[in-house]
Chain A
């Protein structure tokens, strides 16, 4: 696995008057009852996580679970109440304002749920804005901005104003703007939540296409589990400010650590997510097989073949070696494991 590029350990964020002394009074780890009792809002509690270079880490949770707050703590848009955040070996909480500005100007980009475009600027000027505030000359920044606009497929709209664009187009501008400085760390706070389902799908594909080209380190917030599954390398599930579990989609579905995660992952279309490997069993002695499937195909892909086959189907790995067999019962067991 790659090195973590961003590490956050025991980050807390409480909203309310003078939260720091309150934390100290409770030995740095107040209980939920104490927090609520004294009128604080526990937005993030004791969150620790590593973000690896080049991965897409999706933060999931219901409304109000503290996703945005955690993300804003990592970007230091808001000041965490306690904890440590280290980015490329630099402690962000100790960074001066000037250092932070430099970091944001060169290493971070962010996309917002409601686009947050500047209404008085054209598409081109919006995308060039992060470069403009760095004092980069007009020719250079506009060339760069044009590249970004082309990247997100908006060429020809450079002179439009945001109000003249559809929601999907506006978010493309937001994406182009956040990429203009060539950030290493890319924050996206529910970037597609304000869009229609069809457009959302299109934007997700667009996003994957961009990531295949750019290989950024990405923190992506969503409250839509299907979106998370499509995009994520790893998923974090939050509830009431606490990170309930972190892992790949399969891990969360197969081994939910808490009831909440189980509940959350219950309605997922498991057959599209789980691979044959989860349903495979060793071939019994003398068992004959009919046909073969690949171990990393999804259950949905192989279901018709397995169900129609009279005998178990052979499962082979990428080099064509047989690793076991799968039959109808195995398939059903794997798909409905959570209900058994």
Chain B
């Protein structure tokens, strides 16, 4: 008894001593590296399984998942139908709204002899919508985009894409909202929901495509279903956050007014969370567009599919032409939905109907005029092919010019980068034993928040290793890592520059906003043009796409430094340079780290898509899984990608929060 107690006491004592050392500034951070460095040094005597877990003894997650998938896929419930039958039936349910919307926008209804809405009417209504939301600029933008689609011969393709978004977004928003509401009302459900959302939002697009292809088949509607599934998580997340963010007082005001539970939800909480919910709607729409482009891999029609064909046959000019249309679509949808989310209810003027509802009156006018026009001339209904302009020759010229003039210098850069930087770096990443990486993640987690975070972080790494995809994963990691370095090199100075004046900030933020709305797939086009295929092209695509958060968060962090602090620094006699490096940067650093985190997330999304241009990482595997409709493999690799991201995410977010609390910024 007594011996036990002293033993326990001395263990507790040494634990406490370690903990003290652990917390000592200057020493603690280095201690984190000890197991990592030790394991690196011990690599020669580590068993093979500790370095790269061999494929043949990999934990057969894939088989397990496929067994489950097979049960759903082939075996019949009650001997009547399979789950696949059910999912296919549901998928058919989405067919008719798709058909109706597409018919209205472009195809018309031949069987009952009703033509599609004339394009002039769509353009006019889009403009009025923009005008009502935010004024004439948005009207011009929305109307102009629609006119572009019509005049430049992209009408049918772009309206097909738009119809999928118009059908998928409301469904995804409704489902996401419902899940979020249940989560906000039920603690256990919410607890289950958060990790699920985290994983789902870091799964690459392709992981959604494979099961959909398997259970629904390769078709336009499968693309729509994948699009819906992909867009649900952000809505759920923002619903949860929004409902939690409703102030306690407002809720109490509802209770004191005598609301029942439903009245509370629909008349108090949801309206009060409106801003957050509408932001969710914006995200849903943008995710839908991003996904519907990529869903062309499982047969979604529209701009994405056309783009994919052109890219595959390396007709870059035509691909670029399509890319421009996708970009315009993205900008239009983003600006409209964002204006919708920012629109506050307005006081109505008094007076006759036309004074109270001027926009409705104009819309009615446009409808009448365009019907008359389309009766007068078929050109107002749909522009015939010979009346449209194609820009493909122009783009071909551009591509040709670039390849001619830039091919040699670019290939020198490419090859130099490859030989002197990328290949050594890749070798370095592949050389690292997985145990060392897991121990590093674990040690950082432990230091930040104790055993739970340590177990989570190390667990993620172990999962990746045990699936047998360690080598592939290390290639993914190396590409994202190198891209991150480049993003920092370009993004940080840009962010610092932009944070200097309000004007620059606005300008750069507008650029970031715009670039961020483009579906990631689009970034491949210029990159292929410049570097053909391979690692350099992939990394360039990642850098362009993933530098955005770094810039954004740097600006945000630097501009978020309290004015008083800066004034204090000025009165203390700091030079501008000192203010930047001694005051603003340290205070903005936690925010910048969140940007780094986001950049890594974006990078992971892009690196998988970049598999399309021939990389050798996880993306390639997932691509192959898509070809063979191997749902298990698709999901497991998707999880590997997600876990790379989540490991970093958990650690960085935790660190950043702690640091912000220390700085008194949170």
Contact = CB atoms under 8 A, between A and B. Distances in A.
B256 A109 contact: yes
B272 A118 contact: yes
Contact of B347 (A102, A114, A115, A161): A161
Nearest to A134: B258
B83 interface: no
A104 B254 CA distance: 10
Contacts, number: 77
Interface string A113-157: 111111111100000011011100000000000000000000000
B260 A101 contact: yes
B247 interface: yes
Contacts of A178: 256
Interface string B343-364: 0111110000000000000000
Nearest to B275: A119
Contacts of A15: none
B489 interface: no
B33 interface: no
B272 A119 contact: yes
A228 to B, nearest CB: 22
Contacts of A117: 250, 253
Contacts of B263: 133
Instruction: Give chain B's interface residue range (CB within 8 Å of chain A).
Output: 20 to 34
Interface residues of A, number: 35
A13 to B, nearest CB: 15
B257 A133 contact: yes
B271 interface: yes
A164 interface: yes
A75 B252 CA distance: 10
Contacts of B255: 77, 104
A281 interface: no
A160 interface: yes
Contact of A116 (B253, B258, B259): B253
Interface string B266-283: 011001101000000000
A164 B253 contact: no
A159 B347 CA distance: 6
Contacts of A159: 347-348
B256 A161 contact: no
A114 to B, nearest CB: 5
Nearest to A160: B347
Contacts of A114: 247, 249
Given A116-B247, A118-B271, A110 B256 contact: yes
B166 to A, nearest CB: 25
Given A129-B267, A133-B259, A164-B347, 19 more contacts: A101-B259, A104-B256, A104-B257, A104-B258, A105-B257, A110-B252, A112-B252, A113-B249, A115-B249, A116-B247, A117-B250, A117-B253, A118-B272, A119-B271, A121-B271, A122-B345, A130-B258, A161-B347, A178-B256
23 contacts: A77-B252, A101-B259, A104-B255, A109-B256, A110-B253, A110-B256, A112-B253, A116-B250, A116-B252, A118-B267, A118-B268, A118-B271, A118-B272, A119-B271, A122-B345, A129-B267, A133-B267, A134-B258, A159-B348, A161-B347, A163-B344, A177-B253, A187-B256
Interface of A: 72, 75, 77, 101-102, 104-105, 108-110, 112-122, 129-130, 132-134, 159-161, 163-164, 177-178, 181, 187
Closest 4 CB pairs of A and B: A105-B258, A130-B257, A116-B253, A116-B249
